[in-house]
Structure 1
Amino acid sequence: MKNRKLANKLDQLLEIHQFKDYSPNGLQIEGNESITKIITGVTASQALIDIAIAKKADAILVHHGFFWNGEAQQIVGMKYKRIKALIENGINLYAYHLPLDAHPQLGNNAQLAQRLDIIDRRPLEPWDKRSLGRVGKFEQAISVDDLSKRIALQLGRTPLHIAGGHKEIKTIAWCTGGGQDYINIAAEQGIDAFISGEISERTVHVAKEMGIEYYAAGHHATERYGIKALGEWIAEECDINVEFVDVDNPV
């Protein structure tokens, strides 16, 4: 498939025009025109780029790409080495940030919910069509400790649990990655627990004072599965060789 044709297909699938994001979505670095092999991963790190080069990939598809708002604009140091490696090896770089978080089937939030058996899923902010926060419930109430065990089993990482005073959890809200501040909206709605990737100092106080269980399950760990699902969709729809590579990250 041609590189720009693939970009257009993904842009439409993920409806990137609907989002005001912190970095450009879509084709960020142009490489070979023809794509036959894609490496997918969470972040366009040097480690992932090196693996793509070794595997002779034509493209890398990630959730966290380049050119973030507020970062230095100069292409020097680490940024230079990464971009130089991509260009010299003709590797296209595609990145989808908020649009991949939000997609109702392939997105990070949707994929996390599937793994944790969360049902009756809906937006945490029903007044905002682009709300990244989600809310749902478990078919049967689950103890706070059993939810920690379920997260650890599904994500391969034991979450940090901040107790909010519940013994059991029926309703659950979540937002993968750095979405911990949605905890305030969840607590105001009387939801039992909230899951995100990261935790800030303030989040501990919110959980304790507003009476909501909080689980920090890892930014990387909660955002593996959207990009993996998107890659599997490409392999099936476009008949392209796609391989997911999980570069370890403890955060």
Structure 2
Amino acid sequence: MKGTPIGVVGDAPAGMTLSEFVNQVEFKLDTKARVLACGPEEAGRVAIVSGFGADETAVAKSQGADTFLTGETSHAHFWAASDLNLNVVYAGHYATETVGLKALGQHLTEKFNLKIQFLDFPTDM
């Protein structure tokens, strides 16, 4: 539905560097991220859009983000990040989208005592 938020914005722990943030993302999502370090050294305010969120780069910056975490990009989005002085972390389409499904499964298990099985078919994308 038009106007419905598709991402979130929050603050990294005070003083957390971009490198430390990327290390946490890679560890938590069990993935290897690509990084455009076009912004400040600290991760600061972080915007997140899972999957292919690169089209939301300018929106992330307009929300005060210093760092934008998303799944994948295209070549053209490099210049947007550079022009906006925005760090962008690309952690993979699959890795950034499945984390929500896993959390939903855990929630349903806890709330309704359901047995949930997550079918993991990683694509390295």
What interval of TM-score do these two structures reach, taking the shorter chain for normalisation?
A: 0.7 to 0.9
- Please tell me whether the aligned partners of residues 218 and 250 of structure 1 are also in contact (alpha carbons under 8 angstroms): yes
8 Å Cα contact 2:7/2:47 also seen in 1: yes
Give per-residue Cα distances to partners, 1:123-174, cap 9 Å, x unaligned.
xxxxx4x211211102312111111111111111121001113111211111
> Which residue, out of 46, 59, 63, partners 1:172?
46
TM-score by length of 2: 0.87
Encode CA deviations 1:1-30: one digit per residue, 9 max, x unaligned: xxxxxxxxxxxxxxxxxx47xxxxxxxxxx
Can you give the 5+ residue segments of structure 2 that lack an aligned partner in the other structure? none
Q: % of aligned pairs identical? A: 28
The 5 Å alignment of 1:99-118 reads none
Give the whole-Å Cα distance in 2 for the aligned partners of 1:148 and 1:233.
Answer: 26
Tell me what 1:155 maps to.
29
Give distance in 2, aligned partners of 1:239 and 1:143: 39
- 2:9 maps to what in 1? 135
Structure 1: which 5+ residue stretches go unaligned? Answer: 1-18, 21-127
Structure 1 residues 227 and 189: alpha-carbon distance in aligned structure 2, compared to 1, 3 A threshold: closer
In structure 2, relative to structure 1, the CA distance for the partners of 1:190 and 1:226 (3 Å cut) is closer
Q: 1:202 is matched with which residue?
A: 76
CA 1:245–1:181: 2 relative to 1, 3 Å = same
What secondary structure is seen at the aligned counterpart in 2 of 1:154?
A: helix
Distance, in Å, in 1 between the alignment partners of 2:115 and 2:64 is: 45
- How many residues matched? 125
**Higher relative contact order (CA closer than 8 Å, sequence separation 6+):** 2
**Over aligned residues, Cα RMSD in angstroms?**
1.8
Using the TM superposition, give the Cα deviation of residue 239 of structure 1 relative to its aligned residue in structure 2, in angstroms: 4.1
- For the pair shown, the structure with the greater C-alpha radius of gyration is 1
- The correspondence for 1:224, drawn from 90, 98, 102, is 98
Higher strand share: 1
1:238–1:158 Cα change, 3 Å: same
Q: Residue type matched to 1:234 in 2? A: L
